């Protein structure tokens, strides 16, 4: 028995590292996957990889989830095509980094828009559909919500990811009476296109791995495995939690 048989799952950022892995894994588990990304080419590449295994990637690109009307259209067209939403997996994000004194006002707002606003918009528009299904919301935060970085100026990013964790907790409170579960995931350093520039720079890579007990970056599939569990009925008593997937970084 596949773990998500017949479930309609909206995954944002299906052109990126974790979104691509999630789309593939969730489809293999029987889900109908509706994706989106600002990056048309990478989203299409994910669709190709899925087609090679006999699966479809529904949804569209480019869609900019920082624009609430595009989010509403994405959600409503998924319901029109597939009749329901069982899982909303808010994975997409984009951040800008700078030491706080050099962070431009534009970069601050860019980060909040693309890490927090988009999670709110998708949740708001999907909420009533999720309530009908007693559905699940998975929001991707980061270890940046739990600790600072000596490597990059993450003030905007950490503010945004901290907001994702506390937003999720409130969703759990409001969701419980209508049967919605909400969980955030906090990955550590994961090898994706989003971190490729750091990976290629030996100094940055070493600094990012400093304190990671497993002494390697995580793989997207290692985050997605937890998302799959949370999306499934096996996690029926888990809501309001943040789950850290960081190779032991926060242990010391």
Ligand X SMILES: NC(=O)c1ccc[n+]([C@@H]2O[C@H](COP(=O)([O-])OP(=O)(O)OC[C@H]3O[C@@H](n4cnc5c(N)ncnc54)[C@H](O)[C@@H]3O)[C@@H](O)[C@H]2O)c1
**Distance, CA of 112 to CA of 60 (rounded, Å):** 23
Q: Which residues contact 196 (CB under 8 A, 6 or more apart)?
A: none
- Contacts with ligand X, 150-189, as mask; x by CB under 6 A: -------------------------------------x-x
Q: Which residues contact 245 (CB under 8 A, 6 or more apart)?
A: 185, 186, 187, 188, 218, 222, 223, 226
Closest distance of CB 136 from ligand X, Å: 17
**Which residue, 78 or 190, is less far from ligand X as judged by CB?**
190
**Distance, CA of 9 to CA of 92 (rounded, Å):** 14
**Distance, CA of 198 to CA of 207 (rounded, Å):** 9
Closest distance of CB 248 from ligand X, Å: 15
Taking CB under 6 A as the criterion, the residue among 46, 192, 224, 228 binding ligand X is 192
Residues in the chain: 252
Window of 87-95, 103-111, 129-137, 146-154 that interacts with ligand X by CB under 6 A: 87-95
Residue 229 burial by CB count (10 A; 0-12/13-18/19+): exposed, middle or buried?
middle
The answer to whether 193 contacts ligand X (rule: CB under 6 A) is yes
Residues 109-138 close enough to bind ligand X by CB under 6 A: 114, 118
Contact 79, 85 (CB under 8 A): yes
Q: Is residue 35 within a helix (H) or strand (E), and if so which, with residue range?
A: strand 32-36
**Which residue, 4 or 21, is less far from ligand X as judged by CB?**
21
**Which residue, 131 or 159, is less far from ligand X as judged by CB?**
159
The answer to whether 16 contacts ligand X (rule: CB under 6 A) is yes
The answer to whether 18 contacts ligand X (rule: CB under 6 A) is yes
- List residues near ligand X by CB under 6 A: 12-13, 15-19, 36-39, 42, 63-66, 91-94, 114, 118, 140, 142, 187, 189-190, 192-195
């Amino acid at each position: 028995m596949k773990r998500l048989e017949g479930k309609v799952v909206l995954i944002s950022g299906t052109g990126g590292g974790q979104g691509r892995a999630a789309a593939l894994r969730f489809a293999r588990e029987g889900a109908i996957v509706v994706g989106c990304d600002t990056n048309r080419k990478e989203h299409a590449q994910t669709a190709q990889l899925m087609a090679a295994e006999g699966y479809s990637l529904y949804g569209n690109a480019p869609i900019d989830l920082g624009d609430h009307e595009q989010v509403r259209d994405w959600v409503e067209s998924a319901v029109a095509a597939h009749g329901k939403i069982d899982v909303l997996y808010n994975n997409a994000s984009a951040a800008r980094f700078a030491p706080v004194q050099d962070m431009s006002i534009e970069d601050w707002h860019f980060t909040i828009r693309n890490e927090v606003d988009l999670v709110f918009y998708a949740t708001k528009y999907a909420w009533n559909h999720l309530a009908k299904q007693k559905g699940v919301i998975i929001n991707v935060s980061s270890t940046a919500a739990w600790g600072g970085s000596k490597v990059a100026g993450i003030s905007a990013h950490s503010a945004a990811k901290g907001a994702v964790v506390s937003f999720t907790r409130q969703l759990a409170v409001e969701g419980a009476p209508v049967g919605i579960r909400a969980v955030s995931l906090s990955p550590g350093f994961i090898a994706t296109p989003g971190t490729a520039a750091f990976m290629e720079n030996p100094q940055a890579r070493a600094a990012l791995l400093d304190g990671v007990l497993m002494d390697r970056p995580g793989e997207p599939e290692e985050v997605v495995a937890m998302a799959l569990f949370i999306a499934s009925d096996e996690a029926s008593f888990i809501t309001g939690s943040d789950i850290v997937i960081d190779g032991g970084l926060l242990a010391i």
